[in-house]
Amino acid sequence: MAEHRHLATSSELLYRASDPEYFRWLAHVMPAAACSRPIRLRVDAQWHDTTGAPIGPPERVTDDMPDGVLYVACKNRRASVCPACAQTYRADTYHLIHAGLVGGKGVPDTVVNHPCLFATFAAPSFGPVHSVSKPGKPRLCRPRRTPETCPHGVRLACFDIHSSDDPMAGEPFCLDCYDYHHQAVWNLHAGELWRRTTIAAHRRLADLARPLGVKVRLSYAKVAEYQHRGAIHFHAMIRLDGIDPDDSDRVIAPPAAITPEHVRLALADAVASTVFSTDTHPRNRAGWPIYWGEQFDVRTVHLSPGDVDDVGQITSTAVAGYLAKYATKGTEDAGHVSKRLTSESLWFYTERDTHQARQLQACWYLGERPLACTTPLERDRWRDGRGTLPGWGKLQRWAHMLGYGGHFTTKSRRYSTTLTALREVRKAFQRGQQPLAVELGLTGIQDQDLTDDPSPVNLTYLIEGIGWRTTGDAALANTAAAMARERRRIAREEVMTMFNPA
């Protein structure tokens, strides 16, 4: 079988590489070449005259291209799905967070002087778990000379040191004691808890600033990550900004009267005081309490010259890199599944009674629509929720994410540039600064023609398929991308030696 597959690949390779059009094909797929599963698009153009009336039938403009399609990278965030696109996402996230710290990409570079804090917001305990030691700080898991015993007879003590790749890391001592329902519901509401906390922090900060006669605001970028136990937690970069009374969108330096200590106080206060109860649930009429765990960690970020990592200091580069790394992690790192569950696949994943199985089951079970939901209104409310509270049905839809359905990288409006803006810049660069019309060979069309009304051309995108046509194509494209990357790296090094001769 393996032999067959290998033969098929090499004949595919030969077939493609001996094609006289090979180099045209390679140049054509280059923008998506590193992607594991690019999207193949057919594009239809409908031409219009100046009055906006269509001229003739739509024209399939991709027909003359190699393979008759346009290849577009999948842009998936998760390294387990597409390593190359996850790498791009990671780089973009890095630039987004970094620009918010030191300026650049449309953010004034004066932000480097704003007080900045790096904070970690964690979930409360849902039951004792085997704890993970931080790298370089080995710690006994749960040393107890006379340990308590849980109602199921499990001794709650452990004298091991668990590194983060230890399978015991994050495992509950007793599956029957662990509150899986609370964790699932907490993950579902984590985004709402964050929202309420930022509002509370802003209020608290305003209270501190008012007697000093100043106004400030917090800007942030945050990244969500799974802990080993499966609860979501947030890392956030929080920056203090001043408010320009004439232009609220401008990012200006905060008044010196407000110190990082004020911000820390406001955050700690907000974290300690923000608590709410979920909607009622058929399995828990009172709802679940949603609040933060006790381990709220906040540190000041020092922007040392040139961003050199000083011992014991967090620098902007280190923090931006750290946050970006987490943005591309999925639930897989907490030992979970990457696809949306169905009632069939749930059975497959929960055949054995494990921590993972119990987490998936809790989401599925609590997200199941009760028979009592009969009216369409009740069904919609169950599925999507109303107002700010999410519907319980989302727990089933997001069971593979352990209940968390929020974004993995978010930022407040003024923190820095957006991922979309960065993507647009890169897209233009990849196309050699050409607008899509030129890329499609629709030369003679001005860029604004595509945006101004009435537009002479409307483009319709049809997905022909996902992934490379053959494993041979995948190998050729991925190799070409790797070689291009290597050439860029060498060119960069040559430029560096030119300017910094040894």
Rounded to 10°, the helix 2-17/471-499 angle is: 60
Contact characters 161-180, Zn ion, x per CB under 5 A? -------------x-xx---
Nearer to Zn ion, 6 or 152 (CB): 152
CA–CA gap between residue 54 and residue 56 (Å, rounded): 6
Nearer to Zn ion, 152 or 210 (CB): 152
Determine contact, residues 193/390, Cβ cutoff 8 Å: no
Write down the least CB distance from residue 38 to Zn ion, Å: 6
Which residue in this structure is represented by tokens 């990357």? 485
The residue from 79, 158, 238, 362 that contacts Zn ion (CB under 5 A) is: 158
Query: What letter does residue 394 receive in the DSSP assignment?
Result: H
Nearer to Zn ion, 147 or 293 (CB): 147
How many residues touch Zn ion (CB under 5 A)? Answer: 14
- In this structure, the number of other CB atoms found within 10 A of the CB of residue 267 comes to 24
CA–CA gap between residue 70 and residue 205 (Å, rounded): 51
Nearer to Zn ion, 52 or 138 (CB): 138
Nearer to Zn ion, 31 or 367 (CB): 31
DSSP code string of 405-432 = -S-SEEE-TTTS--HHHHHHHHHHHHTT
Write down the least CB distance from residue 164 to Zn ion, Å: 13
Nearer to Zn ion, 158 or 271 (CB): 158
The residue from 6, 139, 152, 407 that contacts Zn ion (CB under 5 A) is: 152
Query: What letter does residue 169 receive in the DSSP assignment?
Result: T
Nearer to Zn ion, 150 or 450 (CB): 150
- In this structure, the number of other CB atoms found within 10 A of the CB of residue 250 comes to 12
Write down the least CB distance from residue 162 to Zn ion, Å: 5
The residue from 35, 43, 208, 477 that contacts Zn ion (CB under 5 A) is: 35
The residue from 26, 150, 161, 389 that contacts Zn ion (CB under 5 A) is: 150
Nearer to Zn ion, 160 or 353 (CB): 160
Determine contact, residues 182/171, Cβ cutoff 8 Å: no
Amino acid at 484: A
The three-point CA angle 293-122-304 to 5° equals 125
Report if residue 39 touches Zn ion, rule: CB under 5 A.
Answer: no
- In this structure, the number of other CB atoms found within 10 A of the CB of residue 378 comes to 13
Pick the closest to residue 101 from 333, 373, 408, 417 (CA basis): 417
**Which of these ranges, 10-18, 104-112, 140-148, 264-272, lies near Zn ion under the rule CB under 5 A?**
140-148
CA–CA gap between residue 478 and residue 93 (Å, rounded): 23
Write down the least CB distance from residue 74 to Zn ion, Å: 3
Write down the least CB distance from residue 430 to Zn ion, Å: 14
Report if residue 74 touches Zn ion, rule: CB under 5 A.
Answer: yes
Contact characters 84-113, Zn ion, x per CB under 5 A? -x----------------------------
Amino acid at 148: E
Nearer to Zn ion, 150 or 252 (CB): 150
CA–CA gap between residue 411 and residue 270 (Å, rounded): 18
The three-point CA angle 240-296-117 to 5° equals 20
Beta bridge partners of 248: none
Report if residue 132 touches Zn ion, rule: CB under 5 A.
Answer: no
Beta bridge partners of 113: none
Write down the least CB distance from residue 180 to Zn ion, Å: 13
Contact characters 177-196, Zn ion, x per CB under 5 A? x-------------------
Backbone angles phi, psi at 311, to 5 degrees: -65, 130
Write down the least CB distance from residue 84 to Zn ion, Å: 6
Which residues in this chain contact Zn ion in the complex, by CB under 5 A? 35, 73-74, 82, 85, 130, 141, 150, 152, 158, 160, 174, 176-177
